[in-house]
Structure 1
């Protein structure tokens, strides 16, 4: 089954079938871990935080939105030099569900996906994963995007009276991650100030993942002490990274997930 029609990729050497995409798939995982991800175009924050990632040996996945222009390519070069992975996050940051309701899946791929993948491929970057803007996905969008990417990431909240560690949707056994094309991520912007992302909540989730050899996906946006937009502080990230390491959890990029 073709990933995209010829009208989208006229001469693209990207994987053209699901089998070819899977041929690049890593081996089955056995260890529980954390998949740390960041969204949008917060290049200055991300580059400034590289020493923090290096200090804890953390490799993350950065989902880039917008045009893959010179600033994006420069950031990609620096991020990859430190072992991080790059994923797609759409050209215009549109809500996929709503777009699909008024347009064809092919139109979404042509407008939001193909331009990014073409420019990434030209820079020798093969994006194996996609993060939904604003976590807007459903069965129809997943079916379409999983013909292009090995995994897609969305997000969800938890009830005010529920523990993160009790919500099975966020946890996938490491050995079965290949069976889950769409993975649910938990936002940690503003940690530990919000009830669903206190250190106790995150610690409990990590303890479950370590005990059960499960994988949990986290996401954030900016990395800064304060400011506009969604952000997590370097102090909070250091606390999260340190706890995961203490429990023996590995940090996986999306590229390392089978």
Structure 2
């Protein structure tokens, strides 16, 4: 690491501990468990980053199907974010943390330290969330970069973490046990693996047949599967899922009797 970078790390780590009004929010609420054990299979639908316009525009779609989702917000919790959060919560959705600068946790842990990552990426955002009357119980890893060390550090702050992984084009999603957790055991799994659904159904690992098969398994075995996307749009150049694809997904899950959980509802 360059001398300047090391100096920056030292400066971060030598910053005085939080005190008084600058203290990060207590983790009591985020780590406390809901008393009930889940028994129904279901879907945890999540969206990442700051696609505020898309999310608000799609609220009628969520309402039509009675779907509640978790929105993992990155960056500062400014006026625009607070307004979006209020509208999402008014419709029953949950809010999670996605870090301040969208940095890769594994690499940052190696270059600096767990404490430096929390100081830079987590605590400032949680302080802003607290000012907005939000206490996120879950965190989504940027770019799904996690390992045992990052999980251990972040599970001291959050009740659940979400990461993700790809599957080969010739593999069946329903056969990959990584993505399925028995509902009754969800409290024992701190970090959950989500399956990306951006650009459904145009990619081989997220065709309608792949997702339908995953729903069938989850319903049969009373398991929970986590899905994630970013924007919600008919067209675009980034990562997004179309309203049409979401509507089909919601409809098929409902047909299977699957419940849509938010991360706030997971014990």
TM-score (norm 1): 0.94
Residue 164 of structure 1 deviates from its aligned partner by 0.1
Q: Name the CA shift for 1:26/1:78 in 2 (closer, same or farther; >3 Å).
A: farther
Deviations 1:117-138 (A, max 9, x none): 1111111111000000000000
Q: Counterpart of 1:92?
A: 101
Seen in structure 2, the aligned counterparts of structure 1 residues 65 and 16 have a Cα distance that, compared at 3 Å, is closer
Whether 2:197 is the aligned partner of 1:202: answer no
2:26 matches 1:15: yes
Instruction: Using the TM superposition, give the Cα deviation of residue 160 of structure 1 relative to its aligned residue in structure 2, in angstroms.
Output: 1.9
Q: 2:145 corresponds to which residue?
A: 136
Is 1:151 aligned to 2:174, yes or no? Answer: no
Cα distance between partner residues in 1 of 2:19 and 2:59: 34
Task: Report the Cα offset of residue 227 of structure 1.
Answer: 1.0
| Distance in 2 separating the partners of 1:107 and 1:195 | 39
Runs of 4+ in 1 over 3 A off after TM superposition: 8-17, 20-24
Higher Cα radius of gyration: 2
1:185 to 194, 204, 214: 194
Change (3 A) 1:193 1:26: farther
Instruction: Tell me which of 53, 67, 75 is aligned to 2:84.
Output: 75
Deviation at 1:28, TM superposition (A): 1.1
2:71 equivalent in structure 1: 62
Alpha-carbon RMSD: 1.6
Distance in 1 (CA, whole Å) between partners of 2:141 and 2:32 is 24
Matched, 1:215 2:230: no
CA distance in 2, matches of 1:195, 1:169: 18
Q: What is the match of residue 41 of structure 1?
A: 50
TM-score scaled by length of structure 2: 0.91
* Residues 1:32 and 2:41 are matched in the alignment: yes
Answer whether contact 2:51 2:231 (CA < 8 A) is retained: yes
Q: Compared with structure 1, are the counterparts of its residues 131 and 8 closer, same or farther at alpha carbon in structure 2 (3 Å cutoff)?
A: farther
Structure 1 residues 193 and 136, CA gap change in structure 2 (3 angstroms): same
Report how many aligned residue pairs link the two structures. Answer: 252
Query: 3-state SS of the aligned residue for 1:237?
Result: helix
Distance change (3 Å), C-alpha of 1:8 and 1:188? farther
5+ residue gaps in structure 1? 1-5
